[in-house]
Amino acid sequence: MTDSHAEPQPIPQGDYVAAKRHGGLIYTAGMTPRENGRMIMTGPVRSGQIETLQEAVTLACANALTAAEAMLVPGETLATILTMTVFVAAEDGFSEHSKVADIASAYLRKRLGSRGICSRAAVGVASLPGNAPVEIQLVAAV
């Protein structure tokens, strides 16, 4: 595994898998800020609230990375994160989606160095499962 903390695999909240591998690509499900199945923060994200999201965004991103790393076989590492999609459940008029995504980007860079730098999309949505403030999905290459 890649710099793994031996974190527990995220538990799907429905009829899906946390990650799926096809050849050298790994696709994760959208991950919310759940710890041991419990949502640590609920939305929506409000203007001026970015600093309060650090823990929730980092946990959602860590869950996605853990799901991706669980698809590796012994001796493999993630070559790179190809892309990340950050869904933000934001109040009407919110415009700082990229700042929320920056928190996740910083986490990936810290964990994986240059292999964590990826393309990304930050998307505002009306709501997310479990009233999560954020959901993160990754595509990685082995």
Give pLDDT tens digits for 80-128. 999 999 999 999 999 999 999 999 999 999 999 999 999 999 999 999 9
Q: Where are the domains of the chain?
A: 19-141
Return d(Cα 67, Cα 21) in angstroms, integer: 11
Beta strands in the chain (DSSP E): 19-22, 25-28, 34-35, 38-39, 80-89, 119-125, 134-141
CATH code for the structural domain at 19-141:
3.30.1330.40
Describe the crossing of helices 54-69 and 97-112 by its angle, rounded to 10 degrees: 50
Q: Give 2 or 110, the one with higher predicted confidence.
A: 110
Q: What is the DSSP string of 81-98?
A: EEEEEEEEEB-TT---HH
How many CA atoms lie less than 13 Å away from 89 in the CB half-sphere?
A: 18
- Token pair, residue 13, equals 């909240």
Q: Which tokens in the block code for residue 95? A: 């415009």
pLDDT, tens digit, for every residue of 6-61?
A: 456 777 777 889 999 999 999 999 999 999 889 999 989 999 889 899 999 999 99
